[in-house]
Amino acid sequence: MDKNRCMACAKEGAFEGGICDPCKALIRGEALEKQHQIKKDADRSLHKEGTDIERKRDR
């Protein structure tokens, strides 16, 4: 595999998909954080309207 540059940080290396592993991890973390914030905002909106929120319990 020839060396190319990461599309996110422009570091040179040999990796698949165009993005290096540290950048992939950072992007995934940001996406999960955003998903959590969207859910939190939706729950808050439902609570303001008086709708009960049923949550799954892991335990």
Which DSSP string do the residues of 29-43 spell out, in sequence order?
A: HHHHHHHHHHHHHHH
Pairing status of strand 4-5 against strand 12-13: antiparallel
Q: What is the sign, positive or negative, of the torsion defined by CA atoms of 18, 23, 29, 33?
A: negative
Q: What is the mean pLDDT of residues 41-57?
A: 81
Cα separation, 28 vs 43, whole angstroms: 23
Which stretches within 1-59 are classed as H helix?
Answer: 21-48
- Report which of residues 3 and 44 the model is more confident about: 44
Determine how many CB atoms are found less than 10 A away from the CB of residue 41: 10
The residues spanned by each domain of the chain are 20-50
**What's the pTM?**
0.67
Q: What pLDDT was estimated at residue 16?
A: 83
Residue 47: which pLDDT band, with cuts at 50, 70 and 90?
Answer: confident
Q: What is the mean pLDDT of residues 3-30?
A: 91
